[in-house]
Homo-oligomer: A and B are copies of this chain.
């Protein structure tokens, strides 16, 4: 399972090209960038670029996957420390907002208005696969669901992404915690509406009274989701 040592030149070239791409996206937007721009900025030869990536898109995708790996490793570490120590429960959505906030310059370049739809679609698939399983498990405790599970999941992911892009495009006027709360407020009652009520009745407090009760109950389903179960 050990990674082979990579030739210094390869990692150096890749790093230079990634850095060049990110800087250029911030400067002039992804669409306006030409391969030549990247070559000039990174100071690498034309043939070298095509030896590594088929085109501009593949370079961007590769940059993004690096971020994803970073996030997954962080989450794995947190989950690990939760199992052994006494760390608090992991809130995947909050961690996502935090992660994006930490790398907001890159994400703004990657997922904001300036970049293509490509990455957002990638993220959509990623989050969809992340949520479809726990959500499917969730409906098993429900009496009835009026909206098909695929639509609800698609809907939830789109909602999350729309909040994320809004957050980035508007220069993050709220904290990650606040955005997490907003997401919770906006989506939790939808899950309730889409999936029906719980089979086991826990009392009236989850159906009426302060909304916090039911909100928390529903939101707890987003807690401790393993973001990379295949590892």
Question: Residues on A close to B: CB < 8 A?
Answer: 114, 116-118, 146-147, 151-152, 154-155, 158-159, 161-163, 166, 182, 185-190, 192-194, 207-208, 211, 215
Contact = CB atoms under 8 A, between A and B. Distances in A.
A118 B31 CA distance: 13
B117 A185 contact: no
Contacts of A187: 190
Chain A contact residues, majority secondary structure: helix
A116 to B, nearest CB: 6
A208 B208 contact: yes
6 contacts: A155-B186, A158-B158, A159-B159, A185-B193, A186-B194, A189-B189
Given A187-B190, A188-B193, A163 B159 contact: no
A185 B192 CA distance: 10
Given A190-B186, A194-B186, A208-B207, A154 B162 contact: yes
Contacts of A215: 193
